[in-house]
Amino acid sequence: MNRAALLCLMFLVALAGRAVAAEVTASVDKNRVQTGGQIVLTLRVEGGGGDYPNADFTSLQKDFEVMSAGTTQRTSIVNGRMTSSRERRYILVPKTAGQFTLGPLDIRVGGETHTTNPITITVTSAPPPPAPPPLTEGEAGNTTGSDALFVQATVDNPHPYQYEQVTLRIRLYTRYQLLDNPGYTEPTTQGFWKENLPAPDLRVETVDGVRYNVLETMLALFPTKPGELTIGEAVLDCSVNDGSQSRDAFSFFQRPSGHRVVLRTKPVTINVQPLPPPPAGFQGAVGEYRLQVRADTHEVVQGEPVTVDVSLSGTGHLRTVGEIELPPLPDFRSYPSEENQEITRNRGLIGGEITKQFVLVPLKAGKLTVPPLRVVTFSPSQKEYRVLEGPPIELEVTPGSGMEARGSRGDIELLGRDIRFIELGDPSFRPLGDRWSRALRWLALLPLPTLALGGAWFWNRRMEAQGANAVWIRRRNAGKTARSILRAAQGKDKAESAAEAARALRTFVADRYDLPAAGLTPDVIAGHLTADGKDAQPVLAFLDRCDAVRFAPQETATGGDFLKEAENHLALLEEK
């Protein structure tokens, strides 16, 4: 039947309906039901103008929960006579046991009100809940719901240690068809660290010979404190098809509406055991772990890096492990890397691996040992602390060039740009506009080396000229030579002093006039002194007196200080 024909048929039905007076009936699918069960109430209109029946259920809501369950329209042609009917269904869930009467109900159809016959319903008490599926060993939990649809909340370990994993499983058992994924509200888990676990696939379980579809969700919980902790209720909001909905030839126009069931688990209480008194070095790692430590080489040049890889893997919450650190290494410079954590969720257990690298640079040559790395953990299965210990790392370090490794090389990343900072030292101020005075001061000094050079040249020339004349040098040193004789005569007696004074004067005259010192007669002396413009007489007289004292000691009473007198004569002779 194509759509056009169907629409024509419906039009005809509608026309026919107007011609026939509406007849309204009310019926239930069963008159006995258990508490928690449900009754389908159907209001049916035969004929009429095509309107659906409506009823006021205020009087019923005291004893029943009333939920709409959809509408249906039916058309039939019998012996050429076309009839139509329209139904509206309601699900009634009795709240208590007892005998109840539905109606008479006032049904409104197209502005007219019809009254139905009363219907008697007997509600019996529900049987005890179905035997819960057997819990596996060590599990604890509870079950709520009916025999066809119930929920079970269990924990795998009701007496865990602090920080030991407790797996909470919420399982939904249903014999009904689930029309949609149940709405799930997680339980409150105050006092736990919480990690989601992957949900198992939908499976079928047989409980007491009855097959159920089982939906399960899991949560890994880690109690953070000892004592009683409670996992709150989880809520499952299910929409199920329990088979109460009738189907007809035109039901493909309708979407199955089913009915809604809200299930709540009961809170689960667990008793968390405190950890035993911890040994030194325990940072809180609870779980089943193993430690691996290895170096990338065992022979290295001093100053070159050695990489030590540390891996701690197993089950447990990695957050409890704490910092992995090498023991103090005075012979190495240590550069630890960032820790890398990879969390796994295998078979409902939270675990994973912590990896960390240490780059060690040996500071001296020789056989060096990296002591074992230790991690203290608590093993819930063994109920004791365990010290995980890596192997000691022996290194043969050969002397290097002294250059120390400084980590991997790379371009320096410029993180920001700004001006350089101000100068803080004491400046040397100068007048504004004065840019050259300091330079000019240096330039003003330039004549100095020039003058010095000129002076040196001049002096050198003079000395060269003078050095070539031995007579001149003898003459120049005449006074110096004579005076040295006089100084040497200091402290001698008068006769010796007179002799030395005479010798000094004669030496002076000989040097001054380039004469041989031996055989210098008074006439020669007089001749040269006179020729030089000197008065020779006092000198000759002094020389006579000296000779007299020298050769006639009786004269020693007179004569005075010959050395001083000789000095005076020298001064007179040196005068120009």
Partner 1 sequence: MRGGTVLILGLLLGALSATSAGAADPQEAYHEGNVLYQNGDFAGAVAAYEEVLAGGVTAPELEYNLANAYLKENQVGKAILHYRRALRLDPTSESARANIDYARSLTQDVKPEDSRNARWTWIRRFRLGPQTAAALLFLAFTGFCTMAGLRIWGWKRKAWTGVLQGTLGGLALLLAAALVFEWTEMEGHAEGVILASEVEVHAGPADTYTVSFRLHEGTEAELLRESEGWVEIRVSDRLQGWVRKDTLAAV
Write the secondary structure of 298-314 as one string of H (helix), E (strand) and C (coil). Answer: CEEECCCCEEEEEEEEE
In this structure, are strands 54-55 and 32-34 parallel, antiparallel, or unpaired?
Answer: unpaired
- Kindly state whether residue 456 participates in binding partner 1, applying the rule CB under 8 A: yes
CB of 358 to partner 1, least distance (A): 39
Q: How far is the CB of 323 from partner 1 (least distance, A)?
A: 38
Query: Shortest gap between Cβ of 463 and partner 1 (angstroms)?
Result: 10
Site for partner 1 in 506-565 (CB under 8 A): none
Task: Tell which residue, 375, 311, 374, has the closest CA to residue 341.
Answer: 311
| Nearer CB in complex with partner 1: 330/433 | 433
CA atoms in the 13 A half-sphere facing the CB of 99: 3
Q: Which one of residues 131, 443, 531, 552 is an interface residue with partner 1 (CB under 8 A)?
A: 443
Q: 471-506 burial by CB neighbour count: b if 16+ within 10 A, else e?
A: eeeeeeebbeebeebbeebeeeebbebbbbbbbbbb
Report d(CA 82, CA 79) in Å as an integer: 8
By CB under 8 A, residue 421 contacts partner 1: yes
Are 246 and 227 spatial neighbours (Cβ–Cβ below 8 Å)?
Answer: no
Is position 414 an interface residue for partner 1 (rule: CB under 8 A)?
no
Binding-site member from 77, 440, 488, 552 for partner 1 (CB under 8 A): 440
- The verdict on 194 binding partner 1 (CB under 8 A) reads no
- Residue 73 CA, chain-centre distance (Å), reads 68
* Residue among 249, 323, 413, 436 that touches partner 1 (CB under 8 A): 436
CB 559 within 8 A of CB 543: no
Stretch of 84-92, 99-107, 424-432, 515-523 lying at the interface with partner 1 (CB under 8 A): 424-432
Site membership for partner 1, residue 367 (CB under 8 A): no
From the list 423, 470, 554, 560, which residue makes contact with partner 1 (rule: CB under 8 A)?
A: 423
112, 24 Cβ separation under 8 angstroms: no
Give residue 214's identity as a one-letter amino acid code. V
Nearer residue to partner 1 within complex by CB, 62 or 435: 435
Query: Which are the contacts of 298, defined by CB distance < 8 A and separation ≥ 6?
Result: 393, 394, 395, 396
Residues 2-41 that bind partner 1 (CB under 8 A): none
Q: How far is the CB of 422 from partner 1 (least distance, A)?
A: 4
Position 415 contacts partner 1 (CB under 8 A): no
Q: Whole-angstrom Cα distance, residue 41 to residue 102?
A: 10
Region of 100-108, 198-206, 302-310, 437-445 interacting with partner 1 (CB under 8 A): 437-445
For partner 1, the binding residue among 19, 414, 424, 518 (CB under 8 A) is 424
Which run of H or E residues covers position 478?
A: helix 478-488
Contact residue for partner 1 among 5, 204, 280, 446 (CB under 8 A): 446
Give me the phi and psi of 417, to 5 degrees please. -130, 135
DSSP-based three-state secondary structure for 212: strand
> Using CB under 8 A, which of the segments 58-66, 442-450, 478-486, 501-509 binds partner 1?
442-450
**Contacting residue, 211, 438, 462, 487, with partner 1 by CB under 8 A:** 438
Per CB under 8 A, 422 contacts partner 1? yes
Given the rule CB under 8 A, which of 80-88, 169-177, 453-461, 557-565 is the region that contacts partner 1? 453-461
CA 408 to CA 429: how far, in whole Å? 48
| Complex with partner 1: residue 449 or 516, whichever CB lies closer | 449
- Binding-site member from 448, 470, 518, 557 for partner 1 (CB under 8 A): 448
CA atoms within 13 A on the CB side of 342: 8
Nearest to 234 by CA among 162, 163, 161, 141: 141
Q: Does 252 bind partner 1 (CB under 8 A)?
A: no
In the complex, least distance from residue 416 CB atom to partner 1, rounded to whole angstroms: 12
Please give the structure tokens belonging to residue 242: 């329990």
- Which residues make Cβ contacts (< 8 Å) with residue 417, sequence separation at least 6? none
**Interface with partner 1 includes 425 (CB under 8 A)?**
yes
Which of 106, 120, 121, 99 has its CA nearest to residue 38?
121
Asked if 429 is part of the footprint of partner 1 (rule: CB under 8 A), the reply reads yes
Nearer to partner 1, 425 or 533 (CB): 425
How many positions of this chain bind partner 1 (CB under 8 A)? Answer: 37
Q: Which of 201, 384, 426, 575 binds partner 1 (CB under 8 A)?
A: 426
Binding to partner 1 (CB under 8 A): which residues in 460-489? 460
Residues forming contacts to partner 1 in the complex (CB under 8 A) are 417-432, 435-446, 448-453, 456-457, 460
